[in-house]
Every structure is written in C-alpha cells, then in structure tokens.
Structure 1
Amino acid sequence: MAARLSENGRRTYNARSETAAEKPSFRNAWRRAQHCIIPAQAIYEPDWRSGKAVATRITRRDHEPMGIAGLWECWTDPAGEEVFSYSMLTVNTSNNELMRNFHRPEDEKRMVVILPKGLYGDWLRASAAESMEFMRQYPAERLAAAAGD
C-alpha cells in the first residue's frame, strides 16, 4: 500500500500548543507523542504595521536551518491508502521583540516553535507529559527579518 501526503492539511498546518492535547485534529498525535521536526530555511509572516500585509522572511540570524517542532499523524482514507500529515506547533509571542510585529493588529501574536539544535533528539524522544517543556519562543535576538524577500 503506497502512502501519500494529506491534500487537506492546510486547515491544520499549525497547532496551538496550549490546546493541541484537547483538539480533535491533534489530540491523538499529542497523546501518542508523535513528534517530528519540520526543517525550514525560513518562515514567512505578514507584517501589518504599514496597514497592508507585507510578506516578511524570518530566518535564524546565524543562517542555520530551523527545526520546527511538529506533530505527525497517519490515517487511512476511504480508498485504503495511508495518508501522512504534520502540523507545526505554535506559541504566543505577544512579548517577543520581533515576532509581536506580525499578523493583523487585532490578532493574537504567535510563532512556530523553533527548537534549538541541541534539543532535536530530546523532542523526538519526549513523552506526551514532557511535550509542553519544549513549547518556548525562539529568542528574538537570534532571528532576523527582511521584508519582501
């Protein structure tokens, strides 16, 4: 049986870490500690400070790839095929010097959980009970933002 990636994952590409254990879309993966790491060179967020959404590229200041904490899930579709999906975990960033600048002014400020490289193995081996220990903001001084990239 061939596996394929979920085609409807856009609706669940981010998971609020504070509620992932309770939400139907994420709770099984959270309870089973189905942790994964999503590699990314950059993330993009809309900067609304000008009154218009300006796509902004956010990278690690040291130019190393990011390892984003995620949850993975596998299910079988009606045709009998395995479907794999993942969601990136997020945290509130209203007090983060850099990340609080993104999203609409009235929206909650959030960011994906960027894991320090030294914690990759710990995240992958962590139990469900330990998962929240990894849900931290990445320090603003270790990130760089550039509009229009």
Structure 2
Amino acid sequence: MCVNYESVADPKRLAEAFGVDIPVDAKFDVWPGYLSIFIRRPKEADVGDDAVPAREALAGSFGIVPHWTKADTVDAALVAARRTYNARSETVEKLRSFRDSWRLGRHCIVPAEAIFEPDHRSGKSVRTRISRVDGKPMGIAGIWTGWKAPDGHVLRSFSMLTINADDHALMRNFHKPEDEKRMLVILREEDYDAWLKAPPERSMDFMRQYPAELLQASAAPLPPRKKKAPPPQPDLE
C-alpha cells in the first residue's frame, strides 16, 4: 500500500505525459492529507464543445474525504485522508468511504514520478523508490470525490486503487513477509482516456498488474533528521 509518492513537479513533463497544466497549491513529495495533482475528465467534455480539453488537472487531498464527513473545517476533514489514501479493488464497491465514487464512475489518474515502498528482505525496513524503466511518469488509476465545508469551501480528494501482487515478480518483494502483497494499478498510456471515460460497470477491466520488467527499484533512504541545536547556556560568570 502506497503511503508516500513523488508527484510530477516539472510542468513540461506533466504536459507532455498527460496533456494538463500543474494546478496551484499542489505538493510533490506527497503523504496522506497533502494536496497534490489528480487528473479527471471535465464534466463539460461530453457536450461536444471542441474547446473543452479531454483532461483537466486539479489539486486534491491524497486520501478521500467522503462527502458525508462531519467536520467544521477543511483541516478537521482531512483527518479522514489518513485512512483512505489507498482503495482495494476487491472491496472498493462495498466500503462506505469509496463506494459512491466507484458507483458514479469518478475515475482519475494520479501522476507520479515514483512511489516508495518498504523492503524487509534484509531484516530491516529499507525505503525503496519504484519508477518506470523508461523514465516516464506513471499514471496511477484512482477515484475522486468532493466535500463541502460549512463555509462553502469545496475540498476535492482522491485515492489510489490497489490489487493483489503476491505473484508479481517485483512488487511481491515489499512490505513485511507476513503481509499480503499489494500494488497500485499503474495504467498503460494508451488506456488513460479509456479509464477516465469508462462507465462504472467497466471499472474492473482496468484492475491489472503493470509488467514487472517495465519497473525498476532502488534503495532510497530518507536523509537523517537534523538534530536541534542545544539551547544556549546562561553566562554564570
């Protein structure tokens, strides 16, 4: 299950890979509850207006904040995102936090340069960076929704979809040995628009493993935290 990922910070790379512009307020070292980029099909795209783009990028919380969330402020609502950043494809249509987005076909793509997973094979948890072999950004399948605060502010949010990876040559190496192996649903580029336009009854057609030979992994430990300087000692002389 992906807790941390690197979004696409270069506007040119994002435009070339996905045909969208970077929204304001997006963060690029992303953790649950952070605002980052998700890509959806505009609601106006089906009216036949050639001026409407096929895709749009918005800033949203990594971790779905369901529309029924009871909270007085956006910050309070974002507490929900700490538990809803990944959605299992096997249960997404049943769980209350995700089922409305799945039922309504609110599909999105989450652009990522890389994802990070823990490798425990050495007996210690080694943070590992996983990316595409060809160097292009990944397009991860997700679902999205919106939440309206009491003051009228609308918060958009998204979750990444996951599938079983017990038999995946690369992704079976991550997380603790006793844990079920999971992986994100990484879309092929030719499937981007099909996923965004797919009706709800076709959503499961896209829940497929991305080939292991098209991915690469390397250790990427976090830099050590800087120790705080000790407070100055009073001059007692």
Please tell me the TM-score bracket, short chain as reference.
Answer: over 0.9
Partner Cα distance (2:121, 2:149) in 1: 43
**1:83: which partner in 2?**
155
Q: Which residue, 92, 103, 107 being the options, matches 1:31?
A: 103
Q: State the 1:51 CA deviation.
A: 1.3
Partner Cα distance (2:59, 2:135) in 1: 31
Deviates more, 1:71-80 or 1:121-130: 71-80
* Cα distance, 1:4–1:111 mapped onto 2, change above 3 Å: closer
Q: State the 1:80 CA deviation.
A: 2.8
5+ residue gaps, structure 2: 1-57, 62-77, 222-237
Q: Which residue, 123, 134, 137 being the options, matches 1:51?
A: 123
Aligned-residue sequence identity (percent) comes to 58
Partner Cα distance (2:60, 2:158) in 1: 9
Q: Does 1:69 align with 2:127?
A: no
Q: State the 1:76 CA deviation.
A: 1.3
Q: Deviations over 1:37-75 (max 9, x none)?
A: 000000000001111110000001111100000000102
Q: Could you state the TM-score of these two structures normalised by the residue count of structure 2?
A: 0.60
Deviates more, 1:65-74 or 1:7-16: 7-16
Name segments (4+ residues, structure 1) moved above 4 Å. 3-6
Q: Could you state the TM-score of these two structures normalised by the residue count of structure 1?
A: 0.94
Bigger CA radius of gyration: 2
Any conservation in 2 of the 1:4–1:81 contact (CA below 8 Å)?
no
Partner Cα distance (1:10, 1:65) in 2: 25
Q: Does 1:11 align with 2:80?
A: no
* Cα distance, 1:25–1:104 mapped onto 2, change above 3 Å: same
Relative contact order higher in (CA < 8 Å, ≥ 6 apart): 1
Any conservation in 1 of the 2:60–2:158 contact (CA below 8 Å)?
no
Partner Cα distance (1:49, 1:143) in 2: 19
5+ residue gaps, structure 1: none
**2:169: which partner in 1?**
97
- Structure 2 letter corresponding to 1:65: P
Partner Cα distance (1:36, 1:46) in 2: 26
Higher strand share: 1
Partner Cα distance (2:214, 2:154) in 1: 38
Deviates more, 1:128-137 or 1:76-85: 76-85
Partner Cα distance (1:19, 1:107) in 2: 17
Aligned residues: 147
**1:112: which partner in 2?**
184
